[in-house]
Amino acid sequence: MGWRMTTKFEVNGKPVSVNVEPRMTLADCLRHELRLTGTHVGCEHGVCGACTVLVDGEAVRACLMLAVQAEGAKVVTVEGLSNDADLTPLQKSFRKHHALQCGFCTPGFITTAHALLTEEPDCDADRVREVLSGNICRCTGYIGIVEAVLDARAAYKK
Amino acid sequence: MKNTFIGQPMERREDLRFLRGRGEYVDDVALPGLLHAAILRSSVAHGKIKSIDTSAALKRPGVHTVITAADMPGGPPIVPMRLQPLPEFKPFEQPAIAHEKVRYVGEPIAVVLAATAAQAEDAFDAIEVEIEELPAVADWTVAQRNNSVLFDKQGTNRSMVFESRKGDADAAFASAPYVRKERLRTGRHYGLTMEPRGVMATWDAAKGMLTIYGAAKVPFFNRRILSAQIGLPVEQIEMIENDVGGGYGARGEFYPEDFLIPFAARHTGRPVKWIEDRRENLIAMNHAREEEAILEVACARDGTILAIRGEVHTDMGAYMRTNGAVGARNVSQFMAGPYRVPHVKIDSSLWMTNKTPVGTYRGPGRFEANFFLERMIDMIAEELRIDRIDMRRRNLITAKEQPYPIATVQPTNAVDEYDSGHYPETLERALQEIDWPRVSKLQGKLVDGKYHGIGVVCFIEGGAAGPKETARLEVNGDGTISLYLGTSSVGQGVETIFAQIAADALEVSIERIRHVHHGSTAYVSDGYGAYHSRSTVMGGSAVLDAANNFLAALREAGAKRLGCDANAVTLDEDKLTGGGKSVPLREFAGLTQEGVFLNKKHTYSYGSHVAHITVDPKLGRIEIIDYVVVQDVGRAINPLTVKGQMIGSLVQGLGGAVLEDLKYDENGQILTGSLADYLLPLASDFPNLRGVVLDKYPSPINPLGAKGAGEGGIIAAGGCMANAVANALSSLGVQPRQLPLSPAYIWELLQQAGRKAAE
Ligand code: FES
Ligand code: FES
């Protein structure tokens, strides 16, 4: 086993401390060390967006970031954007617009869309497409996803 | 209460877990004591293995074992074909791990097992593999020379010629007033799933039980393959289907890893997990599509198609995989598409090359056939100076000709016929949707520096492959009902669809159908899986049969408790009533009945695509202004998911039409080894797409009337886009003859046209 480092950060509002090899990605750390398997890994080279999480509010590819780089950060995953009681307005909108099939890309789209709508609740369809073009979905053809995000804007307006 | 869940656009129950990140894909399952596998793959396309030395790798940190062919007494087992398993193909099947020779970049050579996946990969550079390189066979034109052969004993690179025949094509050609001949080709694509493949296996020596996680698509069949390979009866193998991140024909077939990982688990006595990475996926998962046709069409002067004949050549890659022959077979049988063609003669050759082997990818052979014929129809109409839409109208099969016999394929003796439908109807509807009178005026026009073009094509989609599917209903302890199926999910939303069908058949609320389980081998006695757009039709029909048996059993059991005649008993949501009394359903917990659906015939849904695009002649770039797909699916169980299938498959098809191409150099080295090189459609690429689902002509061959409908968007996308480009650039005489329609290819066509004009 190689050299390890202890790193402390916050995940979904809870402080965590992990002892990992410096080369471990944040995606692998979330999935395998912290067992938050909602964050998916589809390419490991920063192209597909399935691993997108929020780091200090910004959408970040967890496969391109090392776990040790998260020191002191606030990380939010799809689990942190969900609750048991009910789907959130964004999730409801995805369901209504059939914005997912196999569901593998979905956590990455939810986190990306959440970051976008939090910052720009008035974004238009072109802007939504532009931002979502960093995430790949092989099932839906994107039409439902874009409609879902547009339809969820109302819930993010102050 | 008379239910009508069927036909309603119902939100999916699967979504509740996926949206919260609670899906459970195979890599999400963790077991104690796990060893991680990494697979060392050949970097040489073609060569003789001289030696493999793993001793240094074994000393690397964390490494537990390294497995090679030498660990398999009697040599590695081969992976047998599942579809068209002809004896002629036997010598071309793939050993589970490279043995004596390597035949493509990506072929497994050694499996390293270590405490972490990173340590297993770290050990690769300590494995010494000596390979004597042989000349690579990089495409079918090289293959046919047979200078370098992949399988020495065979002496030829051609594994098969499928012969598709109807009527007497040669005679029809001899007397035809008009013949057009063209050479056309499609790119190499693959059914890239966003979730890479993965297998996890555990071996319980005490119970003699092998458990496989990550099963998909055809778990029962794969269990039989593994049973024969590993020497365990099927009862001692359990296949567990987890959530599956996309299938598209490629995932869930039996691959070498589906033997290697269970073997490793049994070999070490430890649970073993292997998760493919994306670079691996690009060279290990089945490729598809790369086909070239030399095709002739004979016509009357009015555009009536008299006959089709020609040859198709498929670049098969290095081995005949489980379903590898399907594309080459389909392209020959479905070359005539939805058109009335009395005489057909197609010879389809399968060429072995030093590339990743092919298998099916959504719309196998149909995507290619559609591109070939639809491209030719437009060229013919132009040359004969007839309207290309009238030419299609003239030749489309009508309702009164159904069932319509199609070409028979040898040597499999595949006799088939279309089942139902009035094909011109979807064409008219698509033209109406796109507002033909308005957009037709734009054809070939240059507006603001961009040429406008309209593509119009028609297609046929096969579905519902037999022979059988099984379903089972069971009363739960809380009075709800569980449904178990032999078919699988590859992300299509089958849980919702089957719940709709069961709730309708039992006349209960949809919530009463509490769980829908599928795909794992423990649930029903037998199952066939999710391929050939068959899940809904076959599984759904089996649910109807199971519901009948289940209701009969409930009535009988209820009659005893209620002291009345079985005929007087009804299922009333959460209780059985009869003779003025009732008894709660939960008191029948454990009562269960299976049902089956047997079927030898296929369903054929059909439709039309119409696309309005622009081409920027400076950049060679295509933009879609509007795109309409109209498909008659017989009966839409859930219009929401049918439309989802339509648009999703359309965008995959557009990827193949304009972006996707797996490229190799002449040494058999892949040039598109990452997602930065193999381009997939993104959210910003194709914003203007529409789908219209019709269900006017139910299928007569199953009780639901449903037809397979997962491929309609993809099949015709290549043909439609190519015709749209030709239409846009008609004033320049540009005729695309290959896919993808990349900016570079379009630019090259424009340069050629420019040179011709200058001469
Ligand atoms: S896994 Fe991180 S971008 Fe694909
Ligand atoms: S839903 Fe399957 S990849 Fe997006």
* Ligand closest to CA A63: 1
- Distance, in angstroms, between B669 CA and closest chain A CA? 21
pLDDT of residue B532: 64
Percent of chain B whose pLDDT exceeds 90: 86
Ligand 2 center to residue B648 CA distance, Å?
9
Q: pLDDT: is B4 or A51 the higher one?
A: A51
**Token couple for B217:** 């698509």
Ligand 2 center to residue B82 CA distance, Å?
27
Residue B6 lies in a domain: no
| Domain closes at, from B533, B564, B598 | B598
Contact B245 A103 (CB under 8 A): yes
Question: Given a cut of 90, is residue B334 above it in pLDDT?
Answer: yes
Q: Is A8 on the interface with B (CB under 8 A)?
A: no
One domain for residues B40 and B56 = yes
Average pLDDT estimate for B596-607 = 91
- Say what angle helices A89-96 and A106-119 make with each other, to 10 degrees: 120
Is the bond leading into B76 cis (omega within 30 degrees of zero)? no
Question: Given a cut of 70, is residue B530 above it in pLDDT?
Answer: no
Calpha distance B231→B577 (Å, rounded): 51
- Distance, in angstroms, between A125 CA and closest chain B CA? 9
- Say what angle helices A106-119 and A143-156 make with each other, to 10 degrees: 40
Calpha distance A77→A90 (Å, rounded): 15
Contact A41 B644 (CB under 8 A): no
Domain membership of residue B496 as a residue range: 15-23+465-598
Closest residue in chain B to residue A50, using alpha carbons only: B194
One domain for residues B104 and B242 = yes
Q: Which A residues in the span 56-115 are in contact with B, Cβ-Cβ below 8 Å?
A: 77-79, 82, 87, 91, 94-96, 98, 100-107, 110
Residue B82 lies in a domain: yes
- B498 near B547, Cβ under 8 Å? no
Q: Is A120 on the interface with B (CB under 8 A)?
A: no
The pLDDT tens digits of the residues spanning A69-81 come to 999 999 999 999 9
**Nearest CA among B247, B332, B312 for reference residue B532:** B247
Q: Say whether the ipTM exceeds 0.90.
A: yes
- B727 near B455, Cβ under 8 Å? yes
The pLDDT tens digits of the residues spanning B220-278 come to 899 999 999 999 999 999 999 889 999 999 999 999 999 999 999 999 999 999 999 99
Q: Is A47 on the interface with B (CB under 8 A)?
A: yes
List all residues 6 or more positions away from B18 whose beta carbon is below 8 Å from its beta carbon.
Answer: A100, A102, A103, A106, B243
**Nearest CA among B49, B52, B43, B148 for reference residue B105:** B43
Contacts of B651 in chain A (CB under 8 A): 140-142
One domain for residues B234 and B301 = no
CATH number at residue B679: 3.30.365.10
One domain for residues B560 and B643 = no
Tally of domains within chain B:
4
Closest residue in chain A to residue B491, using alpha carbons only: A102
Contact B28 A146 (CB under 8 A): no
One domain for residues B207 and B175 = no
pLDDT of residue A113: 98
pLDDT of residue B531: 64
Ligand 2 center to residue A144 CA distance, Å?
11
pLDDT of residue B601: 87
pLDDT of residue B408: 96
**Nearest CA among B649, B283, B288 for reference residue B491:** B649
One domain for residues B124 and B196 = yes
Question: Given a cut of 80, is residue B466 above it in pLDDT?
Answer: no
* Ligand closest to CA A61: 1
One domain for residues B198 and B337 = no
Ligand 2 center to residue A140 CA distance, Å?
6
| Domain closes at, from B246, B267, B284 | B284
One domain for residues B204 and B94 = yes
Question: Given a cut of 60, is residue A1 above it in pLDDT?
Answer: no
**Token couple for B186:** 């499609």
Give the domains, in start order, of chain A with CATH numbers: 5-81 (3.10.20.30), 89-156 (1.10.150.120)
One domain for residues B400 and B481 = no
Percent of chain A whose pLDDT exceeds 90: 97
Contact B689 A141 (CB under 8 A): yes
pLDDT of residue A131: 98
Residue B695 lies in a domain: yes
Closest residue in chain B to residue A21, using alpha carbons only: B118
CATH number at residue B126: 3.90.1170.50
- B176 near B298, Cβ under 8 Å? yes
Q: Is A1 on the interface with B (CB under 8 A)?
A: yes
Contacts of B60 in chain A (CB under 8 A): none
Average pLDDT estimate for B8-29 = 94
Q: What is the pTM of this model?
A: 0.95
Residue B324 lies in a domain: yes
Q: Which B residues in the span 356-395 are in contact with A, Cβ-Cβ below 8 Å?
A: none
Contacts of A149 in chain B (CB under 8 A): none
pLDDT of residue B2: 63
Question: Given a cut of 80, is residue B127 above it in pLDDT?
Answer: yes
The pLDDT tens digits of the residues spanning B413-458 come to 889 999 999 999 999 999 999 999 999 999 999 999 999 999 999 9
Contacts of B647 in chain A (CB under 8 A): 140-141, 143-144
One domain for residues B61 and B209 = yes
Task: List the end-to-end C-alpha distance of chain B, in Å, as a whole number.
Answer: 77
Contacts of B648 in chain A (CB under 8 A): 101, 139-141
Ligand 1 center to residue A105 CA distance, Å?
10
What residues form DSSP beta bridges with B452? B614
Q: How sure is the predictor about B491, in pLDDT bands with cuts at 50, 70 and 90?
A: low
| Residue whose CA is at the smallest distance from ligand 2 atom 4 | A137
- Distance, in angstroms, between A117 CA and closest chain B CA? 17
The pLDDT tens digits of the residues spanning B381-419 come to 999 999 999 999 999 999 999 999 999 999 988 899 999
Question: Given a cut of 70, is residue B492 above it in pLDDT?
Answer: no
Write the burial class of residue B403 (CB in 10 Å: 0-12 exposed, 13-18 middle, 19+ buried).
Answer: middle
Q: How sure is the predictor about B537, in pLDDT bands with cuts at 50, 70 and 90?
A: confident
Mean predicted lDDT score pLDDT of chain B: 94
Instruction: Please list every protein residue whose CB sits less than 6 Å from any atom of ligand 2.
Output: A 100-106, 137-140; B 194, 246, 491
- B193 near B276, Cβ under 8 Å? no
pLDDT of residue B1: 46
pLDDT of residue B533: 66
Contact A103 B19 (CB under 8 A): yes
One domain for residues B314 and B407 = yes
pLDDT of residue B292: 98
Residue B68 lies in a domain: yes
The pLDDT tens digits of the residues spanning A90-143 come to 999 999 999 999 999 999 999 999 999 999 999 999 999 999 999 999 999 999
One domain for residues B675 and B650 = yes
Write the burial class of residue B412 (CB in 10 Å: 0-12 exposed, 13-18 middle, 19+ buried).
Answer: middle
Residue B418 lies in a domain: no
Residue B4 lies in a domain: no
Lowest mean pLDDT among B103-117, B120-134, B636-650: B636-650
Average pLDDT estimate for B133-149 = 97
Q: How sure is the predictor about B599, in pLDDT bands with cuts at 50, 70 and 90?
A: confident
Contacts of B22 in chain A (CB under 8 A): 38, 79, 82
Contacts of B61 in chain A (CB under 8 A): 1-2
